[in-house]
Structure formats: C-alpha cells, structure tokens
Amino acid sequence: MPEPALRDRHEAGRLLAALLSRYQDRPDLIVLSLTRGAIPVAYEVAISLGVPLAEHLEAQPLGDRTVILVDDGLAADTVPAAVEALRRLGPSRIVVAVAASASFCARCRRRRNRNRPQRSDRE
C-alpha cells in the first residue's frame, strides 16, 4: 500500500520536529538547513523547537553546541560531507534529521543489516 504523501515541506518539517521534541528549547541548539530546498523543513523544525534557524555557519568553533542538520531527502554524498565539515567546527553533538518516508528508512535498515558483519558465538 502506498504511503500517504505529505502536502509540502512545511508539513514534513512539523512531523520531523515532533520526532525531535526532546531538543525543544535547548539554549545550546542550532538548527541548520543542509540545502536551499530543505529550508522550509528546517524552518518548521526550528520554530517548533523554539530556536532560531541558522542561515549559515561561519567557520567558528561550535564548542558545546548541538547542531541539528536538516535535509529534505538523502543524497549520496551530501550528508556525510556536511557532517564531516561540521565535525571540524567541534560541536558537542550532530543530529542528522531527514524528512524521509518510512519505506525509505526500512530499505536503509535492511541494507545496513545486510552489510553488518555477523557476530560469531565465540566473540
């Protein structure tokens, strides 16, 4: 059965924000949009969590900050490259939040499990 489509990126952001509610009103939090297309998603996440949306990050140390990196889909190399760039700024935590369908997430889990080394009884 096909999954119900979301109306728009704003709705996707509100749904994503509900999943991130444990980060609400944290003073150390930065919400950052990975791409221009993800800005509506990131905006809804930031508003729902009660923090501003960072337009861009200067190359400044992030210290004890938590960064929620929001995207509206998964591109092969975009997210890992962004995470690596953020790591160089030294945040305490990076949370990748992507608006993706449940079926897409299930496919990713299956692929991850297929590639995971099997544990032997002797370990």
Q: Tell me the mean pLDDT in the region 44-65.
A: 87
More confident: 50 or 106: 50
Q: Check if the beta carbon of residue 32 is closer than 8 Å to that of residue 54.
A: yes
36, pLDDT greater than 70: yes
Residue 105: band (very low, low, confident or very high) from pLDDT cuts 50, 70, 90? low
Q: Which fold has domain 9-113?
A: Rossmann fold (3.40.50)
Q: Tell me the mean pLDDT in the region 31-44.
A: 92
Retrieve residue 86's tokens. 């953020």
| One-character DSSP codes across the chain | -PPPPPS-HHHHHHHHHHHTGGGTT-TTEEEEESSGGGHHHHHHHHHHHTSPEES---S---TT-EEEEEESS--TTHHHHHHHHHHTT--SEEEEEE---HHHHHHHHHHHHHHSPPPPTT-
